[in-house]
Amino acid sequence: MSDAPDLIFRSLADPTRRSLFERLCREGELTVGALTAQAGVSQPAVSKHLAQLKQAGLVQDRQAGRQTHYRAEPGALVPLIDWTAQQTAFWRARFDALEDLLGRIDQ
């Protein structure tokens, strides 16, 4: 039904990306330099991982002068844990359609 969960799963399957995401969740906003300091990989590699996390909706960035600051968006994980939001929207639309039909059915 949606490709977003697959993109998120693929994104978090990589251990370096997962640890970058986890660190941003724990520590709040960090620059690429600060993230690289403990990442165990080069800065270009960190930037590439962050770009992928951003594409999956898991992190957001903002420019402040020459620095790029990243922050986590853990809310992106909610649909994975909680299928109920999507199904609630589905059933609300079905109820609307049902009421419409009932109004059109003769006795």
Partner 1 sequence: MSDTSPEMRSVVIERDLTHPPGRIWRALTQPHLMAEWLMQTDFEPVLGRSFSFQAEWGAVNGQVTEIEPERRLAYSWGDGVLDTVVTWTITPTSDGARLRMEQTGFRKDQPRYLMGATAGWPRFFDNLEQLLAREPA
Residue 25: CA count within 13 A, CB half-sphere = 13
Kindly calculate the radius of gyration of the chain based on its CA atoms and give it in whole angstroms. Answer: 20
Residues 42, 77: Cα–Cα separation, whole Å: 27
1 near partner 1, rule: CB under 8 A? yes
Which lies closer to partner 1 via its Cβ, residue 4 or residue 44? 4
Residues 2, 7: Cα–Cα separation, whole Å: 10
Span from 12-20, 34-42, 54-62, 63-71 in contact with partner 1 (CB under 8 A): 12-20
Binding residues (CB under 8 A) for partner 1: these are: 1, 9, 13, 15, 18-19, 22, 25-26, 74-75, 77-78, 80-84, 87-88, 91-92, 94-95, 97-102, 105, 107
